[in-house]
Amino acid sequence: MTNRSSGARSAVSGVMLLLLGITSVASAGDVAALVAPLLAARERGSLGSVDGRAYAEGRPGGEATPYVSVSVLLLPRSAAFEAELEAIKTHSRDSPDAYIEAEPKVTAARLAFERTLIDTGAGQLILGGSSDGAGAFRFQRVPEGAWMLLAWRETPLAKRPPGPKRAEAERYKTRSQVFGQTTVTLWWRPVTVRAGEEATVRLHDRNEWMTGLREDRRVPGQGQPATPRTQQGAAPR
């Protein structure tokens, strides 16, 4: 597992925050205090590891089905950030619109927290990777201390937008339409890492934290097809 590119992440973070109007509730001072023990442990070589697996549980006596390409992040644990995520989840039940907005808000909150870590000089404590063909993932040389593991699995689904009537097509030709949807399953777990030891994490279909929906909205025309092209035998994205 390697640290992510801070430059690209900061650019994406800025766009997401601008669009959604979200800023991190964890201040730079708070983050500096919570990462200090982790940076100290890293400096003195007090390191452990995190071993994980993502899968769908099978029937009793059956085999589990691995979840491949689950995105996994290991971040310093922040009570403020966790409270922010829980608030987003709680309000996602307020209305259909709130449900659609929940997953983008989680992403924006995560990017804001990562940006605060980078601005505080703790970008090296953002550890990311994905599950392999067996659903396994592993973080090595992790400083001992309090961490949180945030993971998400995307399941895309193409959707043909309804054809508008001729009069409506001209009147609303600049209105965006939903060309596809992606179901996003999220997990988060607190993880305590101890020097010389391995922490174990299991992510499966019975301990999901939240399920959200991401829409692919585009304006038809302008040189792009009315429906997205998909490769034969490949999941549409």
pLDDT in tens, the chain (237 residues): 555 444 444 444 444 444 444 455 667 778 999 999 999 999 999 999 999 999 999 888 788 999 999 999 999 999 999 999 999 999 999 999 999 999 999 999 999 999 999 999 999 999 999 999 999 999 999 999 999 999 999 998 866 555 555 555 555 556 656 667 899 999 999 999 999 999 999 999 999 999 999 887 666 665 454 444 433 333 333
Query: Whole-prediction pTM value?
Result: 0.75
Sign of CA dihedral 58, 202, 124, 197: negative
Q: What angle do CA 187, 189, 195 make, to 5 degrees?
A: 140
Residue ranges per domain, the chain?
Answer: 2-56+64-158+184-206
pLDDT of residue 26: 67
Cβ 64 vs Cβ 131: under 8 Å: no
Cβ 92 vs Cβ 211: under 8 Å: no
Q: What are phi and psi of 35, to 5 degrees?
A: -90, -15
Q: What is the CATH number assigned to the segment(s) 2-56+64-158+184-206? A: 2.60.40.10
Burial class (CB in 10 A: 0-12, 13-18, 19+), 199: buried
